[in-house]
Amino acid sequence: MSFQITVNPGTLEEQSEMFDVQLMDELLQADIEKAEEEFGPGNIWVYQTEMDDDVCAECKGYNGNIYTSKEVAEKWAWAEKLRAMIKPNVHPNCRCRLETLVTVEVI
Ligand SMILES: [Zn+2]
């Protein structure tokens, strides 16, 4: 009796890709939680552009929108807290900011 075992390289590759995606998701999730913590869990932010002709179409579309800290963390990977505001850094040289609408303090 003899066996012929065929390993489909495509399948192995797909599996390792799936593993990478899962690992990436976990890393991303950790980053989001860290950012949410930094922005203040429960805080609510309003998006504000400079309202001039240099504001790009994408940022213009966000103007006036309301986001939770978690949404900011999920939406913009390069967002950073600067004193009482968040710079979303939607793209290089983005001048937009998110200002606090509601601050939830844990007492
Ligand atoms: Zn912008």
Tens of pLDDT, residues 5-14: 666 666 666 7
Range of the domain at 83: 9-102
Residue 1 lies in a domain: no
Ligand 1 centre to CA of 29 (Å) is: 24
pLDDT tens digit string along 19-34?
777 888 888 999 999 9
Q: How far is the CA of 74 from the centre of ligand 1 (A)?
A: 16
**Would you say residue 51 lies in a domain?**
yes
Which residues make Cβ contacts (< 8 Å) with residue 33, sequence separation at least 6?
A: 73
Q: How many domains does the chain contain in total? A: 1
CA 77/CA 93 separation, integer angstroms: 15
Q: Cα(44) to centroid of ligand 1, in Å?
A: 19
Cα of 87 vs centre of ligand 1, distance in Å, is 9
Q: How far, in Å, CA of 56 to CA of 68, rounded?
A: 23
Name residue 45's beta-bridge partners. 67, 100
Cα-to-centroid distance, 102 and ligand 1 (Å): 22
CA distance 72 to 32: 9
Task: Tell how far the Cα of 19 is from the centroid of ligand 1, in angstroms.
Answer: 34
**pLDDT tens, 45-56?**
999 999 999 999
In a domain, 14, yes or no: yes
Residue 13: inside a domain: yes
